[in-house]
Amino acid sequence: MQWLANSIDEFFSGEEGLGSRNARFAWSLLVPTLAILILVAARPLEQTFISSLTDDEFGTTRPARWVGLENYQKLLSVRFVTVECQIDEDTGECARTTGVQETIQWQRSDFEEEERQKFREMPSEEREDYVRYEPAYTWQLFGGETGLRVLAKDPIFIESFGNTIQFTFVSVLFELILGMIIALVVNSNFSGRGIMRTAMLVPWSIPTVVAAVLWQVMMRPDNTGIFNVLVQDLGLADSPVQWLTATGPWMYSIIAVDVWKTAPFMALLILAGLQVIPKDIYEAAEVDGAGRIRQFFSITLPLLRPTIAVALIFRTLDALRAFDVFQVLLDPTRPSMAYYNYDRLVLGRLDGFSSAVGVLIFIMILIFTVIYVRFVGIEQEG
């Protein structure tokens, strides 16, 4: 906690803190905007949190009942057990099954004798709660026939969390790499550069829902989909690929859609950072004999660090709230956290429960933002 005390002291009395004239002037400009933001956002956040502590439902005359942290307990309750895998002949991985009865069998067969005895001696109400866990994920351990199974009271929420994290990490990584390449290309001098700069923004300008529908048509699971026609004509597959089904590469498919859609946005931000780097730095590096690769890692990348940090924050926050791509291309059994929240609120009419999901999404986004700002490096120049 010492670093927090030092940070607070520096904030109020340091040269760059509130004690400085520049800081006071900056805060005087920020306060009106912050006040409006607090007035607009504070009340909804307060109501959402209060609602998350109830079992409120839409379309019912039953008054909401105070349940405390029960919604959060259901969402976050997980258990880990080791299981003997039934190896799938097609994939070579642990066969995945679902169902409460099978979960009870897994638990009973995998518990040590002490755990089994504890289960037998439980009161009926506790036993019912104990077996209310269903499988969310299964991983093979060391490629063998033993697996680690994650059991959850709400397995779809746990899966939505895993889907969101995987989608965010992979899509943002590829968007950064592709956006960097595009920005470096359009920042160089060549004929038609202006046209290419305009063309690269076309995918980003298309609404996400429209883009998702277009890709859905191209990824049709039969021979009418353009991607299946291409992979079969090139000899990469003997039969149509089920791009968006649960047994196919659905995660990589929606990541490809998102990368195609938003990599231009990343490229635009990086291009803005490239254009403020003084050209004489590169000229001096060339005189010193530094090649293009050396210039990129010694000059371009370090000077782009603040720009990349801002771009990563924008894209990560956007990806963590991904909804459109999941909602259009997938079914509700493979949701993102935002899609799951929508499903529980609009279709399930569970206002209190969905509010708890929303609070958890807010906390997750807040944590990612703090980590990025602190460790990725939005640096101050002074």
What are the pLDDT tens digits along the chain (382 aa)? 555 455 545 544 555 555 567 777 777 888 888 888 888 888 888 889 999 999 888 877 888 888 889 899 889 988 887 766 665 666 555 554 433 333 333 343 444 455 556 655 666 555 555 556 777 777 666 655 667 778 888 889 999 999 999 999 999 999 999 999 999 999 888 787 788 888 888 999 999 999 999 999 999 888 888 998 998 888 888 888 889 988 889 999 999 999 999 999 999 999 999 999 888 888 888 888 888 888 888 889 999 988 998 898 889 989 999 999 999 998 877 889 999 999 998 888 889 999 999 999 999 988 888 887 777 655 444 4
* 3 state SS of 85: coil
Q: Are residues 106 and 166 in the same domain?
A: no
Alpha helices (H) along 53-99: 70-76
Burial (CB count within 10 angstroms: exposed 0-12, middle 13-18, buried 19+), residue 251: middle
Q: Domain limits at 6?
A: 2-52
- Any domain includes 61: no
Q: Are residues 107 and 190 in the same domain?
A: no
Q: Are residues 198 and 236 in the same domain?
A: yes
Q: Are residues 122 and 244 in the same domain?
A: no
Q: Are residues 242 and 125 in the same domain?
A: no
Q: Are residues 142 and 182 in the same domain?
A: no
Taking the model in full, what pTM does it have? 0.79
Distance, in Å, from the CA atom of 157 to the CA atom of 75, rounded to the nearest integer, reads 7
Burial (CB count within 10 angstroms: exposed 0-12, middle 13-18, buried 19+), residue 363: exposed
- Any domain includes 265: yes
| Total count of domains within the chain | 3
Q: Are residues 311 and 208 in the same domain?
A: yes
Distance, in Å, from the CA atom of 50 to the CA atom of 353, rounded to the nearest integer, reads 11
Q: Are residues 130 and 29 in the same domain?
A: no
Closest of 17, 7, 144 to residue 87, by C-alpha: 144
- Any domain includes 58: no
Q: Are residues 126 and 148 in the same domain?
A: yes
- Any domain includes 249: yes
Distance, in Å, from the CA atom of 321 to the CA atom of 342, rounded to the nearest integer, reads 11
- Any domain includes 126: yes
Paired residues of 135 in beta bridges: 151
Q: Are residues 257 and 148 in the same domain?
A: no
**b/e per residue 286-312 (b: at least 16 CB within 10 A):** eeeebeeeebeeebbeeebeebbbbbb
- Any domain includes 24: yes
| Cβ contact 283:299 at 8 Å | no
Distance, in Å, from the CA atom of 79 to the CA atom of 57, rounded to the nearest integer, reads 28
Distance, in Å, from the CA atom of 365 to the CA atom of 357, rounded to the nearest integer, reads 12
Specify the DSSP class assigned to residue 54: B
Q: Are residues 144 and 170 in the same domain?
A: no
- Distance between the two ends of the chain, CA-based, in angstroms? 26
